[in-house]
Amino acid sequence: MGKGIGVGYISLIVLIPLAALLTNAFNKGLVSFWTAITQTEAIDALRLTLLCSLGAALLNAVAGTATAWILVRDRFWGQGLLNAIIDLPFALPTVVAGVTFYTLYGPLSPVHVNITGSWIGITVAIVFVTLPFTVRSVQPVLESMSFNAENAAATLGASSYQVFRTITLPTLLPSILTGTGLAFARAIGEYGSVVFISNNLPYHSEVASSYIYSLATSGQTNAAASVAVFLLMLALVLLAAFNITSVQLAKRHG
């Protein structure tokens, strides 16, 4: 009974739309699929999306780990508030974030910073939306980590930096990879927060999700589905790579 509901639910929400997408992508054959994803505009959009997403994920891997660190290891005024704010990018509609960035860092910027229409703007928007992933995956590991291994390293003659690099970081690495993988997968499909700040100039500042949208709204359903499927496959491969590495590391650590 429970199993039936579970499978039915997953089918309805994920599998059926996925099947429809795959059908749409391949209903005119492989050649048509290949043509759709090798259009210069498609390649440019995919490349921009991947690079910005990777940059944002890596930036958040570092900043997110540092944030998790101060939330767990430090004590300061307003810590509880900061901890609560971390999840805000998940709660806030991404379009709201997009509009906010546009007014703050757009042509009418009160601080005279205009990052619209460039990879910088896109990356900043993605960094915002994916901020919670690394923080929330590293935080519990850091909380459950005993100080004894770090103390043991110190008594054996390691400096604080050596302790961090050789003991703390390897312990956190699986969770950092998991968080980064999730952030990356989320980033390559990001639309709402990016669409305003990117200006959507084809070949220049158009991300994949926005390109797919423009194809779909101009009646090119097959091409839109082809690019979408390709993006989906990329996300799956990268997510799998991050997860396998993370599980391998975690398994070894036991």
Partner 1 sequence: MSISLNGVTKYFGSDLVLNEVSDEVPQGSLTALLGPSGSGKSTLLRIVAGLTSLDGGHVELSGRDVTDVPPRDRRIGFCFQDYAPFRHLSVFDNVAYGLKVQRVPRAQRRREVDELLRLVRLEPFADRYPRQLSGGQRQRMALARALAIRPEVLLLDEPFAALDAQVRSELRTWVRNLQRELGITTILVTHDQGEAMEVADRLVILNEGRIEQVGAPDHVYDHPATAFVRGFLGPTTTLDGVTWRPHEIELGSPGETGVAAHVIDVIRLGFEVRVVVKDHSGSTSWVQLTHEQSRRLDAQVGEAVVVRPRAEVFEVL
Residues near partner 1 (CB under 8 A) are 146, 148-149, 151-159, 162, 166-167, 170-171, 249, 252-254
| CA neighbours closer than 13 Å in the CB half-sphere of residue 59 | 17
Nearest C-alpha neighbor of 133 from the set 205, 197, 190, 81: 190
Kindly tell me the burial class for residue 90, based on how many C-beta atoms sit within 10 Å of its own C-beta (0-12, 13-18, 19 or more).
Answer: middle
Q: Kindly state the smallest distance separating residue 138's Cβ from partner 1, in Å.
A: 16
- Dump the DSSP string for 118-139: SHHHHHHHHHHHHHHHHHHHHH
- H/E stretch holding 43 reads helix 40-73
Nearest C-alpha neighbor of 194 from the set 124, 92, 251: 124
Instruction: CB nearer to partner 1: give 40 or 146.
Output: 146
Q: Kindly state the smallest distance separating residue 164's Cβ from partner 1, in Å.
A: 12
Instruction: CB nearer to partner 1: give 92 or 154.
Output: 154
Q: Kindly state the smallest distance separating residue 158's Cβ from partner 1, in Å.
A: 5
Give how far Cα 92 sits from Cα of 39, 98, 100, 241, Å: 34, 10, 11, 29
Q: Are 130 and 97 in contact (CB under 8 A)?
A: no
Instruction: CB nearer to partner 1: give 111 or 156.
Output: 156
Instruction: CB nearer to partner 1: give 27 or 162.
Output: 162
Q: Kindly state the smallest distance separating residue 146's Cβ from partner 1, in Å.
A: 7
Q: Kindly state the smallest distance separating residue 174's Cβ from partner 1, in Å.
A: 10
Instruction: CB nearer to partner 1: give 32 or 171.
Output: 171
